[in-house]
Amino acid sequence: MRINRLSLLNSLFSVINENNQDDSYFVLAHYFLVHYHELSDLNIYDVADDCFVSRSSVRRFCQSIGYDNFKDLKTEFNEYDDQLNYYMQFADREDFRQCLTNEIDEMIGELDRRMNTEEVGKIAERLHDSRYVVFLTSDASTSRIKEFQQSMILSNRIVRIISEAYTDNTLLSMLNEKDYLITISASGKFADASEEIVKRCCAYKSLVTLNRDPKYNDWYDKVYHLSAKDRSKGKSVYGRYGIDYMFDVVFSHYIRKYGRSK
């Protein structure tokens, strides 16, 4: 999967969140979300007719979110089925509430041990001392990092997030050894998709992940594993709640050491 495609759902929801209902882009984005499961059976004629737009409008919409045409969008949209299946397997259990509670308790215990190190201080120090701090994320992780981004402004620290339009990104291309790039990829899929971008980047680079593939050590200066086990196959509470926990701990250390903005 190409990296710009990983922000597809984020792009579609951004369109419907930020546009009026009578806007043609809103209509198309809403249509694609409503008909997600039938998308493989649709063609551009169906879409144009159902949305009361021209075929050229459909093509322009696809191009606006990173696709050459409707066929290109349809082909790669199907890859999101894996993510939905992971979530369904995670949630579709009769004893879900108790399982979730037990898994969160286990996660908190492990993360409490793993975060009780001097490495937290090193992360906070690098956040403070770097010229630019940039998070590289997919849409799945953006909301969690946005809360950290907003919290950091209390210490007068601006953190940037890149969660779409990854290729030919001006900010990424200007990063150097004075900067800090943090990639968030619980499963490792986004890390794999962003390999070339990360390798070209000259900043100090960290990865936060559940995937213990040793190849990431060649791409990053530091890899932070949220668990001692490889929990990258399928949905995990570590990916959903562990990232929040980690950056809450980092923020607490940061604000105690460097204080609030004056």
pTM over 0.75: yes
> Do 70 and 108 belong to one domain?
no
Task: Let me know if residue 89 belongs to a domain.
Answer: no
Q: How many domains, in total, are found in the chain?
A: 2
Tell me which of 43-47, 160-164, 199-203, 223-227 is least confident. Answer: 160-164
Helix H, strand E, coil C: the string for 117-149 is CCHHHHHHHHHHHCCCEEEECCHHHHHHHHHHH
Q: For 71-104, write each residue's pLDDT tens digit.
A: 888 876 665 555 566 667 777 778 889 988 999 9
> Do 52 and 143 belong to one domain?
no
- Does the pLDDT at position 154 exceed 60? yes
Task: Let me know if residue 105 belongs to a domain.
Answer: yes
Task: Let me know if residue 31 belongs to a domain.
Answer: yes
> Do 138 and 49 belong to one domain?
no
In this predicted structure, what is the pLDDT of residue 84?
61
* Confidence band, pLDDT 50/70/90 cuts, at residue 111: very high
- Residue at a domain's end among 81, 106, 131: 81
Helix (H) or strand (E) holding 74: helix 70-77
Assigned token pair, 256: 């105690």
The arithmetic mean of pLDDT across residues 13-33, rounded, is 91
Task: Let me know if residue 111 belongs to a domain.
Answer: yes
> Do 58 and 168 belong to one domain?
no
> Do 16 and 136 belong to one domain?
no
Q: What is the CATH number of the domain that holds 39?
A: 1.10.10.10
Task: Let me know if residue 106 belongs to a domain.
Answer: yes
Angle between helical axes of 44-51 and 55-64 (0-180°, round to 10):
100
> Do 171 and 50 belong to one domain?
no
> Do 143 and 17 belong to one domain?
no
In this predicted structure, what is the pLDDT of residue 91?
74
- Does the pLDDT at position 10 exceed 80? no
- Residue at a domain's end among 58, 81, 104: 81
> Do 41 and 141 belong to one domain?
no
CA distance 207 to 209: 6
Which domain covers residue 235, as residue numbers? 95-258
> Do 74 and 110 belong to one domain?
no
Q: What is the CATH number of the domain that holds 224?
A: 3.40.50.10490
CA distance 21 to 181: 37
Task: Let me know if residue 88 belongs to a domain.
Answer: no
Instruction: Give the Cα-Cα-Cα angle 102, 211, 244 (nearest 5 degrees).
Output: 55
CA distance 121 to 141: 23
For residues 24 and 51, is the Cβ–Cβ distance under 8 A? yes
> Do 106 and 222 belong to one domain?
yes
Q: For 211-237, write each residue's pLDDT tens digit.
A: 999 999 999 999 999 999 988 776 778
CA distance 149 to 134: 10
Tell me which of 59-63, 174-178, 211-215, 235-239 is least confident. Answer: 235-239
SS3 63: helix
Task: Let me know if residue 217 belongs to a domain.
Answer: yes
Instruction: Name the DSSP class of 233.
Output: S
> Do 124 and 101 belong to one domain?
yes
CA distance 124 to 132: 13
> Do 69 and 108 belong to one domain?
no
